[in-house]
Copies of this chain bind each other. A is one copy, B any other.
Amino acid sequence: MNIGEASERSGVSAKMIRYYEGVGLLPSAARRTNGYRDFGDQEVALLQFVRRTRDLGFSLEEVSTLLALWSDKKRPSREVKRLAEAHIADLERRIREMRAVMKTLRGLAQHCHGDERSDCPILDDLAAPRRTTVRPAKRR
């Protein structure tokens, strides 16, 4: 099948299919005589795997690792589980950071009457914070 149909079936855009191939995440697709890429059900399954792992927030780097683990029938399941749990921990950390920011923002918004008047504690605090402003660490 052509790239368009593979895209529809897998939920990965044609653009991204070519990109994944280009960066070596996926093996180069077979070509027809006219130069068009030719996909089979197996390639579509691979693309679906990639889409699902991407949907779960894994980076392409991690997807690559998962693909390798997937094709290695003898690897211990421990490795896969470790990757999944590291990702969960990362999500937890980021959620904690975002919650801290929300707390600060809610505190600021609460004191701002938010009407026609011009004085605004939010801006005042951004200019010279009183107490609980959040300084998050490096993002990944």
Contact = CB atoms under 8 A, between A and B. Distances in A.
Main secondary structure of the interface of A (DSSP, over half): helix
Nearest to A114: B81
A87 interface: yes
Contact of A114 (B82, B91, B99, B136): B82
Contacts of A98: 57, 91, 94-95
A48 B123 CA distance: 12
B82 A123 contact: no
Q: Taking the full assembly, how many copies of this chain does it contain?
A: 2
A92 B106 CA distance: 12
A50 to B, nearest CB: 9
A91 B101 contact: yes
B70 A127 contact: yes
Contacts of A70: 123, 126-127
